């Protein structure tokens, strides 16, 4: 099975900051990587597919990059609505897996 390791597990930042979260795969997953946002008590929201394709309605301050085994999501100009948990998912094989999540907190 493919393991996804996210870092950091917690990130403190201020409004207007630019932050980056990393997701590392235990083996190459080409570009089969998605990012989600989740707020407490809510269902996950799909943000990015295929490493860098923003879903409809996702603000352009979100961006994704990477390939192979290392991937990042960057959020620029942090807004109040961005403070949440972010996690990655690989879909390179039918044995899907998720990263452990990164909680983005207000500093």
Partner 1 sequence: QGLLEQSGPEVKEPGASLKVSCEASGYSFTNYGIAWVRQAPGQGHEWIGWISPLTGRKTFAQSLQGRVIMSTDTSTNTAELQLRDVDSGDTAIYYCARGHMVSPFDLWGQGTLITVSS
30 forms part of the interface with partner 1 (CB under 8 A): no
Q: Which of 13, 22, 24, 32 binds partner 1 (CB under 8 A)?
A: 32
Told to check if 98 binds partner 1 by CB under 8 A, we report yes
Nearer Cβ to partner 1 (95/107): 95
* C-alpha–C-alpha distance, residues 35 and 98, integer Å: 9
Q: Can residue 100 be called a binding residue for partner 1 (CB under 8 A)?
A: yes
Q: Which of 21, 34, 51, 104 binds partner 1 (CB under 8 A)?
A: 34
Site size toward partner 1, by CB under 8 A: 22
């Amino acid at each position: 099975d493919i393991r996804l390791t996210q870092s950091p597990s917690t990130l403190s930042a201020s409004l207007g900051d630019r932050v980056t979260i990393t997701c590392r795969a235990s083996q190459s997953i080409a570009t089969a990587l998605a990012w989600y946002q989740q707020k407490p008590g809510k269902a996950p929201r799909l943000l990015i597919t295929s490493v860098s394709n923003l879903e409809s309605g996702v603000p352009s301050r979100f961006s994704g990059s990477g390939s192979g085994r290392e991937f990042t999501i960057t959020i620029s100009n942090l807004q109040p609505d961005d403070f949440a948990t972010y996690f990655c998912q690989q879909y390179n094989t039918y044995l899907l897996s998720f990263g452990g999540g990164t909680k983005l907190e207000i500093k």
